[in-house]
Amino acid sequence: MCWYGPHRYLNEFIRENLCGRIMEIGVYNGENAVGMVRAAKKGRPASEVEYHGFDFFSSYSTERIGGKLDETGCRHALFEGNTLDTVPEAARILQPMDIIFIDGGKSFSEAWSDWEGAAKLMHDGTGVFIHNVDFAGVEKMVRSIPRDIYDVEMFNPRFEGKVALIRKKPSS
Ligand SMILES: C[S@@+](CC[C@H](N)C(=O)[O-])C[C@H]1O[C@@H](n2cnc3c(N)ncnc32)[C@H](O)[C@@H]1O
């Protein structure tokens, strides 16, 4: 039930919300990264699209993924290493994102750390999508997100299993 590659709901959110600042935790082969950047380019020039990707980059190197992103003309930064380290570090220095896709490690400790980093980078309109909510660790992470601060919407894209969309409640 694991799907690698472009996810239509991400591209729809990007187009509808004119997203320019994109973050992906778990990049793998970079195909989804390129898909999201292409969607963002429909709403603004490539030079105004920024992609931030986090992964070990062990199967696909940063050079290889960077090359794919260069072809889109976007600005990009790739953070190599364990997201338990890289995401909290980056969350201290990066500006807020318009969309964040959490699709890295599936254990509770990885998923919760990724969520905590993502939460620090949310503005009022940010959409945080969480992949593979069917995995026990990810499910526990989504269950632990405080409902008094965040709206949590669950949906089932075809062939993908459960996905969660997290947004700040208007009053929070
Ligand atoms: C499901 S794939 C990502 C797929 C990609 N988002 C897509 O839609 O095509 C998961 C990725 O997360 C990375 N990953 C898993 N745990 C990680 C961790 N703790 N730190 C860094 N990367 C991790 C793996 O290297 C893998 O490339």
Cβ–ligand 1 contact at 4 (below 6 Å): yes
Q: Is residue 1 part of a domain?
A: no
Cβ–ligand 1 contact at 110 (below 6 Å): yes
Given a contact cutoff of 8 angstroms between Cβ atoms, the answer to whether 145 and 131 are in contact is no
CATH number of the domain where residue 162 is located: 3.40.50.150
Three-state secondary structure call for residue 40: helix
Q: How confident is the model at residue 1 (pLDDT cuts 50, 70, 90)?
A: very low
Q: Average pLDDT, whole number, for the chain? A: 95
The arithmetic mean of pLDDT across residues 79-83, rounded, is 98
Cβ–ligand 1 contact at 45 (below 6 Å): no
pLDDT at 172: 56
Q: pTM for the complete prediction?
A: 0.97
Report the separation in Å between the CA atom of 43 and the middle of ligand 1, taken as the mean of its atom positions: 27
List the alpha helices (DSSP H) in 2-135: 8-16, 31-41, 62-72, 83-93, 108-120
Structure tokens at 111: 């998923």
Q: Is residue 2 part of a domain?
A: no
Cβ–ligand 1 contact at 5 (below 6 Å): yes
> In the 8-state DSSP scheme, what is residue 1?
-
Three-state secondary structure call for residue 113: helix
Domain total for the chain? 1
- Tens of pLDDT, residues 17-41: 999 999 999 999 999 999 999 999 9
